[in-house]
Chain A
């Protein structure tokens, strides 16, 4: 029974497939010019794999005690804590890095505390910093994924275990972790394979260059297309294997509702849990606090070019948001597996590979810097699409399951079905998806670095340049502005959705 026209969903899916696959085609087409990888390329591949594996292991290992504490304790402020765990996802990467430098950097809080004790300063530039930043971003994600697993254990089992005085850990929790951890590790591994901004700012050099960063350097500094193509092919193979891992491991749902619950249990460990949660919050909140602290004075004398960059970021974010929704909504309404594939495909691609392909496509026609902002909008929209789709598709399914037959029996089809059945149910997820797309896009530092000329920087790129010039105060001021922009956009859209749904 066809209730909605299929062509908008088919067209949107086709567009996404073209946007992702055409650049890939361009890379393959130029592959004739690619040489066999040089030693530096192999080193980049080794480092990429190694740091992604280490980041995934550390994130998951640290997340287990945090998730357990959240699963078994009820206390005031718990909801706020769960909220903080969601923040790194929409926090611009470059902003978080600046905060991490303020805490863990050479003249940061930690080394200031270690110095008087006669301990050597801890370095943040190099592989340490890359892994540290990846743990900062992905540990909260791991907590959310693992917490889902914990809360999926029925309360009766805990009651039964308590009445038998059986070891909860071995009986219930180890089997649950064995189910949840592979997916968690795989998804963090995949995310870290394609991380660019972290490697750009904290990594570099022969011992801490990822493939993604190497592509950027080959295109931008060496203008060596052949090498960029070789590296892009390596990255494609990496992403495809990473995505296959995630597919095999079956990812638990991090977006799912119900993180607000906790299960009553009868085993001890109150002090331990309090300590674990306190440390986790310190780790997550201190960088954010440092940005506010250091950035506030910088706000007063921002370099004038920062305002232009902020305006460009705002426009890019709004355009990318509109495009994301224009793609995600028809694809989600279409509900075919080809649409699902198209919506999730950007998760398995890297921004820099897509960027390289687009660079190769436009380069013979016009100067890439002329299309820097439109290309950024396109790529950002594609990157936000999987998350927007994930927010919309279950809501559509729920509305159809709950009231689809009623709508059928009343003859609601096409636009009237959309208007009276689906859009009202979608107001909230649409607002959430728009907020996510806007925040991700405003904070993104990826293809823009590949394309932009000096006077075209978005705010994240401007921040990276200020940091490279060691103008840390100005960078911190710009960081505050960027936080206000991304979180403000997220809040506005999300709130708008909630209000429309009320």
Chain B
């Protein structure tokens, strides 16, 4: 379980408050208007922003003393999710060993993960030789390999077309969801939220609300979300 206890994040004039819990294995869409603080919330969980107040706990353990790389968190950013100068295989092995040493055993695991996202045999290629969708798949394969329980998706599929985006969301559910990961995904599109799964939380007017059932939320949105969705 992920707990945000009386959390306050501050960046310049901007303040965001959160006091909520996400059940282990939950798949949560993070909704809300641009500039509302969705990315800030994820950045704090990943360890890029230190809270002004409050605690972030994973399985009851305070994450504050842990550097981003030491947290049980895999993060997919809006772009730049692969090192462009390394092959896919080299990119992925960093999830297994920060020193990047390739062993036959690791090669086999990488190949299996690539096969799982439909990229069998792509290991020796550079990211630039892959399409946008394929790059997203490779990044998902790395999140799968890293065996970190919490996966944060900061609109990594925003640049893809609607069809591809739906495909990637299914893959997230199928691959990472099936592996029991807890997933938080920032999105603008209600369809994406429905597609991802069960829960959604709204970040608006300086507050992150507790996650609720996504269908119920979209059927009867709170006023802020209603304006944002244009209903």
Q: Are A420 and B94 in contact (CB under 8 A)?
A: yes
- Asked whether any CB of chain A lies closer than 8 Å to the CB of B67, the reply is yes
- Asked whether any CB of chain A lies closer than 8 Å to the CB of B85, the reply is yes
Residue numbers in A under 8 Å from B69 (CB-CB): 408-413
Q: Indicate whether A411 sits within 8 Å of B67 (C-beta atoms), given known contacts A403-B80, A405-B48, A405-B77.
A: yes
Binds A, one of B20-28, B95-103, B173-181, B186-194: B95-103
| Whole-angstrom distance between the Cβ of B12 and the nearest chain A Cβ | 19
CB 8 Å contact bits of B90-127 with A (1 = contact, 0 = none): 10001100111000000000000000000000000000
List CB contacts (< 8 Å) of A408-422 with chain B: 408-413, 416, 419-421
- Asked whether any CB of chain B lies closer than 8 Å to the CB of A425, the reply is yes
CB 8 Å contact bits of B55-98 with A (1 = contact, 0 = none): 00000000000011110011101001101111000100011001
Residue numbers in A under 8 Å from B47 (CB-CB): 408-409
| Whole-angstrom distance between the Cβ of B142 and the nearest chain A Cβ | 9
Residue numbers in B under 8 Å from A83 (CB-CB): none
The residue of chain A having its C-beta at the shortest distance from the C-beta of B48 within the complex is: A405
Residue numbers in A under 8 Å from B67 (CB-CB): 1, 408, 411, 413
Residue numbers in B under 8 Å from A413 (CB-CB): 67, 69, 98
Q: Are B86 and A420 in contact (CB under 8 A)?
A: yes
Q: Are B68 and A409 in contact (CB under 8 A)?
A: yes
- Asked whether any CB of chain B lies closer than 8 Å to the CB of A501, the reply is yes
- Asked whether any CB of chain B lies closer than 8 Å to the CB of A406, the reply is yes
| Whole-angstrom distance between the Cβ of B85 and the nearest chain A Cβ | 4
Q: Are A410 and B46 in contact (CB under 8 A)?
A: no
- Asked whether any CB of chain B lies closer than 8 Å to the CB of A335, the reply is no
Residue numbers in A under 8 Å from B98 (CB-CB): 410-413, 416
Q: Are A424 and B85 in contact (CB under 8 A)?
A: yes
- Asked whether any CB of chain B lies closer than 8 Å to the CB of A258, the reply is no
| Whole-angstrom distance between the Cβ of B95 and the nearest chain A Cβ | 7
Q: Is the interface of A mostly helix, strand, loop or mixed?
A: helix
- Asked whether any CB of chain B lies closer than 8 Å to the CB of A402, the reply is yes
Q: Indicate whether A419 sits within 8 Å of B100 (C-beta atoms), given known contacts A402-B80, A408-B68, A411-B70.
A: yes
Interface centre among A1, A416, A420, A424 (most CB of B within 10 A): A420
Residue numbers in B under 8 Å from A410 (CB-CB): 69, 94-95, 98, 146
CB 8 Å contact bits of A244-256 with B (1 = contact, 0 = none): 0000000000000
- CA distance in complex: A403, B99 (Å): 17
- CA distance in complex: A406, B94 (Å): 11
| Whole-angstrom distance between the Cβ of B151 and the nearest chain A Cβ | 11
| Whole-angstrom distance between the Cβ of A425 and the nearest chain B Cβ | 6
Q: Indicate whether A420 sits within 8 Å of B100 (C-beta atoms), given known contacts A406-B83, A408-B69.
A: yes
Residue numbers in B under 8 Å from A408 (CB-CB): 47-48, 67-69
- CA distance in complex: A403, B77 (Å): 10
CB 8 Å contact bits of A417-445 with B (1 = contact, 0 = none): 00111001100000000000000000000
Interface centre among B68, B77, B95, B98 (most CB of A within 10 A): B98
The residue of chain B having its C-beta at the shortest distance from the C-beta of A501 within the complex is: B85
Chain B contact patch, size range: 20 to 34
Q: Are A403 and B68 in contact (CB under 8 A)?
A: no
Q: Are B94 and A412 in contact (CB under 8 A)?
A: yes
Q: Are B83 and A411 in contact (CB under 8 A)?
A: no
- CA distance in complex: A408, B75 (Å): 10
Residue numbers in A under 8 Å from B85 (CB-CB): 424-425, 501
List CB contacts (< 8 Å) of A469-502 with chain B: 501
| Whole-angstrom distance between the Cβ of A153 and the nearest chain B Cβ | 29
- CA distance in complex: A403, B100 (Å): 16
Q: Are A406 and B100 in contact (CB under 8 A)?
A: no
Residue numbers in B under 8 Å from A416 (CB-CB): 98-100
The residue of chain A having its C-beta at the shortest distance from the C-beta of B152 within the complex is: A409
Pick from B46, B70, B83, B99: contact of A421, CB below 8 A: B83
- CA distance in complex: A424, B84 (Å): 9
Q: Are B75 and A409 in contact (CB under 8 A)?
A: yes
List CB contacts (< 8 Å) of A375-423 with chain B: 402-403, 405-413, 416, 419-421
Residue numbers in B under 8 Å from A1 (CB-CB): 67
The residue of chain A having its C-beta at the shortest distance from the C-beta of B95 within the complex is: A410
- CA distance in complex: A421, B98 (Å): 11
Q: Indicate whether A409 sits within 8 Å of B73 (C-beta atoms), given known contacts A416-B100, A419-B100, A420-B94.
A: yes
- CA distance in complex: A402, B83 (Å): 9
List CB contacts (< 8 Å) of B1-55 with chain A: 46-48
Residue numbers in A under 8 Å from B83 (CB-CB): 403, 406-407, 420-421, 424
The residue of chain B having its C-beta at the shortest distance from the C-beta of A502 within the complex is: B85
| Whole-angstrom distance between the Cβ of A422 and the nearest chain B Cβ | 10
| Whole-angstrom distance between the Cβ of A144 and the nearest chain B Cβ | 28
| Whole-angstrom distance between the Cβ of A206 and the nearest chain B Cβ | 59
The residue of chain A having its C-beta at the shortest distance from the C-beta of B97 within the complex is: A416
| Whole-angstrom distance between the Cβ of A404 and the nearest chain B Cβ | 9
- CA distance in complex: A420, B95 (Å): 12
| Whole-angstrom distance between the Cβ of A324 and the nearest chain B Cβ | 24
The residue of chain B having its C-beta at the shortest distance from the C-beta of A2 within the complex is: B67
Q: Are B81 and A424 in contact (CB under 8 A)?
A: no
Residue numbers in B under 8 Å from A501 (CB-CB): 85
Residue numbers in A under 8 Å from B94 (CB-CB): 410, 412, 420
- CA distance in complex: A286, B95 (Å): 58
| Whole-angstrom distance between the Cβ of A416 and the nearest chain B Cβ | 5
- CA distance in complex: A413, B94 (Å): 12
Interface centre among A403, A411, A412, A501 (most CB of B within 10 A): A411
Residue numbers in B under 8 Å from A421 (CB-CB): 83
| Whole-angstrom distance between the Cβ of B63 and the nearest chain A Cβ | 13
- CA distance in complex: A413, B80 (Å): 18
| Whole-angstrom distance between the Cβ of A283 and the nearest chain B Cβ | 41
The residue of chain A having its C-beta at the shortest distance from the C-beta of B74 within the complex is: A409
| Whole-angstrom distance between the Cβ of A409 and the nearest chain B Cβ | 5
Q: Are B80 and A406 in contact (CB under 8 A)?
A: yes
Residue numbers in A under 8 Å from B74 (CB-CB): 409
Residue numbers in A under 8 Å from B80 (CB-CB): 402-403, 406
- CA distance in complex: A39, B95 (Å): 72
Interface centre among B48, B68, B77, B84 (most CB of A within 10 A): B68
Interchain residue pairs with CB less than 8 A apart (16): A405-B48, A405-B68, A405-B77, A406-B81, A408-B67, A408-B68, A409-B47, A409-B69, A409-B74, A410-B95, A411-B67, A411-B98, A413-B67, A413-B98, A419-B99, A419-B100
B residues within 8 Å of A by Cβ?
A: 46-48, 67-70, 73-75, 77, 80-81, 83-86, 90, 94-95, 98-100, 146
Can you name 18 extra interface pairs (CB under 8 A) apart from A402-B80, A410-B95? A403-B84, A405-B48, A406-B75, A406-B81, A407-B83, A408-B48, A409-B46, A409-B68, A409-B73, A409-B75, A411-B68, A412-B69, A412-B94, A416-B98, A419-B100, A420-B86, A420-B90, A501-B85
